[in-house]
Amino acid sequence: MSQLFNDTPTACLALADGTVFYGQGFGATGTTVAELCFNTAMTGYQEIMTDPSYAGQIVTFTFPHIGNVGVNPDDDEASDPVAAGMVVKWMPTQSSNWRAVQELGDWLAARGRIAIGGIDTRRLARAIRQTGAPHVALEHNPDGVFDIEALVQKARDFPGLEGLDLARDVTCAQTYRWDEMRWAWPEGYSRQTNPTHKVVAIDYGAKRNILRCLASAGCDVTVLPATATAEDILAHDPDGVFLSNGPGDPAATGEYAVPMIREILDKTDLPVFGICLGHQMLALALGAKTVKMSHGHHGANHPVKDTETGKVEITSMNHGFAVDGQTLPEGVVETHVSLFDGSNCGIRMKDRPVFSVQQHPEASPGPQDSYYLFERFVASMDTAKRVDA
């Protein structure tokens, strides 16, 4: 059934349960199908849209002021948006920020990403919390013509993220070096010229600011594709191994990532640090299990408790799967938990410098409470070097 709107609706969001939201389209035209999540961050919409961890997802922004600072190349976490689409309450106004070089809508259109505005995002977020992240179809048609039945069916036909290895889709095509450090006023990004440790970073969908944090902490970073083998990694003679963030089902990515991590742990005493999907990969390699969450954790205001110090950190998060803390094997300690739902947010091996966290300590966007974890990783490499000396 086709439906024609002569007034304002130029976009339509159809949920698999038959619920339909109408609004104003911006960005690219066309149709996209994905899982729908919501993000509670008040800043950083550009970083969120370019975060490779959002592959296969459309993001609902609960904060209404989206697009007000435009976009600029310095804030990209990847070369292009990775999230499938964007849902916002208010249509973006003309940007007002000295760093803006392009309007959000033009940026999305040039990169083939669809967005819809004028949506009751509070209602949508409540629905996601109550029933879980739905499968949806989003269409932007300036003519206002929508085949609702076909859109609902497309949403129902979407296979979902369970069982999907999306790391292969977003990882780098080949090995490369990274030496750019964190942005700082007034020079912007500068280069690491005096690194103290060689780190191999496995790219499951690595954000640029994670790599910048490693460089700023004194690391000479070599980035390898997600499918790199232990032999590939050890050929670089690293002082430590980093496992990056990324999208998709960790169990699917783990089919090739877990054997590699286990081989690294079996053959070496190298420090290992994982974030997000890298945290889940490490947990699987150590014998734990992962589970699909109802609606996941997406935002820059998530409280996480360090179970060993009692300290509470406000963190940036983006994940729809979690490590099942009840399945951690002997010799592995749970170090962090979410204060929202008690889910696992960190682990470490008792007798080795191997640890990981679910949150994003690079804080792009978000608070910097967890940045110390990069320093902990460097300190573990310092200690390992002294032991070997």
Catalytic residues: 276, 360, 362
* Angle separating helix axes 250-267 and 277-286, nearest 10 degrees: 60
pLDDT of residue 180: 97
pLDDT of residue 385: 80
Q: Among positive and negative, which fits the CA dihedral 247, 250, 252, 253? A: positive
CB 57 within 8 A of CB 37: yes
Residues of the chain with CATH 3.40.50.880: 167-388
How far is 310 from 336, CA to CA, in rounded Å? Answer: 9
pLDDT of residue 344: 98
Q: Please give the CATH topology (third level) of the domain spanning 167-388.
A: Rossmann fold (3.40.50)
How far is 297 from 343, CA to CA, in rounded Å? Answer: 10
Residues of the chain with CATH 3.50.30.20: 2-157
pLDDT of residue 388: 73
151: three-class secondary structure by DSSP: helix
The DSSP code for 328 is: P
pLDDT in tens, the chain (389 residues): 345 445 689 999 999 999 999 999 999 999 999 999 999 999 999 999 999 999 999 999 999 999 999 999 999 999 999 999 999 999 999 999 999 999 999 999 999 999 999 999 999 999 999 999 999 999 999 999 999 999 999 999 999 999 999 999 999 999 999 999 999 888 899 999 999 999 999 999 999 999 999 999 999 999 999 999 999 999 999 999 999 999 999 999 999 999 999 999 999 999 999 999 999 999 999 999 999 999 999 999 999 999 999 999 999 999 999 999 999 999 999 999 999 999 999 999 999 999 999 999 998 988 999 999 999 999 999 999 877 76
Locate tokens 């994940």: which residue? 319
Backbone angles phi, psi at 58, to 5 degrees: -105, 135
By DSSP bridging, strand 197-203 and strand 219-225 are parallel
**pTM (2 decimals)?**
0.96
By DSSP bridging, strand 11-15 and strand 135-140 are antiparallel
Backbone angles phi, psi at 154, to 5 degrees: -60, -40
CATH of 2-157, one of 3.30.1330.10, 3.50.30.20, 3.90.79.10, 3.40.50.300: 3.50.30.20
